[in-house]
Amino acid sequence: MRAAVRRRLPQLTARAGGVGPAASSHPDPYRNVDAQPDVARMIQSLEERGRTRAQARLRRRFLRFAGIPKAGRVLEVGCGTGVVLRDLTTLVGPRGRVVGVDRSRRVIAAARELCRAHPTITLRVGDAARLPFQSARFDAAIAVTVVLHVADPLAMVNEMVRVTRRGGVIGLQDQDFGTLAVTHPDRELTDRILRGVAAHVYEEPHSGRRLPGLLRAAGLAHVRLLTDVYQDTGLEPYTKTFLQRRAENAVRFGIVDAATAERWLDGFTKLVADGAFVMTINYYGAVGVRGGGASIAPTTGRRRAAAFMRARRSGRTERSANGARRTGPWQRRAR
């Protein structure tokens, strides 16, 4: 049987309440990693997530979907410890270049160590809203689980567009906490903790489903969406840490007391022992093309757009991008 999920919450509560001089005032620790009292633990948890098999599958499927070009110059914004960068080196190959930028000095220092064996990776400290790169320098710019954490996602995407050449790809992947589902004997308490903590920590807990709109708001063309699911039925170390952090934060934000949070964690221990544990959360990957130049599929795209405009002008039945017939309010009436 696996170890219990419970942690010693009272001790953590005391530390959280005490907030040392280095602690950040924003409840989302990824807003300012260097101001957190437990940066080493955060670094470890990013690597732990990266190693989790279901997470690696999600990440790699998204990178394939984004169409990272072989021998291309690729930027990852909010690169953390370099989990995604290391995957990118395989995709771009030895003639490609992979650049990671992150706001946190401590995280970039850890990434330098962890990416030492990869000569095609370069790392920089910098803010997503003011990227330290010249315009049109990259063939692709991506950000994986970063939109959720930044104060102004559109400012970040606008910067990613600026540093990407015309016809290049901009890609975002993010989880969506409105889709988090987990087994637990006390459903009401589970909802209270999970929704309460997400609402407290993130500006937009449903950031994942908003990614296509964000890319369109930044003026990108050919926006596509890949919806994927993280699934865990065995309580992976990453999932365990995730639930423990939710319990700690529920106490910290006054959503429940420490005894209730511990009882909640104990509920998972029994489910795991019975082989009845399930946690799933949707991950959304959205990709768009910077317009104004040769895009990835210029001819097909222009042909489709012209056909679409002709159909609209003539009032013929419209079809969505995937060929499905549009109905209801989306059907344009023939005049």
Ligand X SMILES: C[S@@+](CC[C@H](N)C(=O)[O-])C[C@H]1O[C@@H](n2cnc3c(N)ncnc32)[C@H](O)[C@@H]1O
- What's the gap between Cα 144 and its chain centre? 4
Q: What is the maximum span of the chain, computed from C-alpha positions, in angstroms?
A: 70
Q: Is 127 in the site for ligand X (CB under 6 A)?
A: yes
Q: What are the CA-CA distances from residue 119 to residues 50, 85, 99, 151, 165 (Å)?
A: 20, 11, 11, 32, 23
Binding mask 11-30 for ligand X (x = CB under 6 A): -------------------x
Q: What is the token pair recorded at 104?
A: 């946190």
Q: Is 104 in the site for ligand X (CB under 6 A)?
A: yes
Q: Is 33 in the site for ligand X (CB under 6 A)?
A: yes
Pick 84 or 215: Cβ nearer ligand X: 84
- One residue of 7, 73, 86, 149 binding ligand X per CB under 6 A: 149
Q: CA end-to-end span of the chain, whole Å?
A: 68
Positive or negative: CA dihedral 155, 107, 75, 59? negative
Rounded Cα–Cα distance for residues 299 and 310 (Å): 16
Pick 27 or 293: Cβ nearer ligand X: 27
- One residue of 115, 128, 214, 258 binding ligand X per CB under 6 A: 128
Q: Is 83 in the site for ligand X (CB under 6 A)?
A: yes
Nearest distance in Å: CB 50, ligand X: 6
- One residue of 5, 75, 92, 107 binding ligand X per CB under 6 A: 107
CB 27 within 8 A of CB 287: no
Q: Is 97 in the site for ligand X (CB under 6 A)?
A: no
CB 220 within 8 A of CB 161: yes
- One residue of 29, 72, 78, 285 binding ligand X per CB under 6 A: 78
Type of residue numbered 63: L
- Segment near ligand X (CB under 6 A); pick from 77-85, 181-189, 194-202, 321-329: 77-85
- Helices and strands, counts by H and E, the chain: 11, 8
Q: Is 84 in the site for ligand X (CB under 6 A)?
A: yes
Q: Is 46 in the site for ligand X (CB under 6 A)?
A: yes
Interface positions with ligand X (CB under 6 A): 30-31, 33, 46, 50, 78-80, 83-84, 102-104, 107, 127-129, 144-146, 149-150
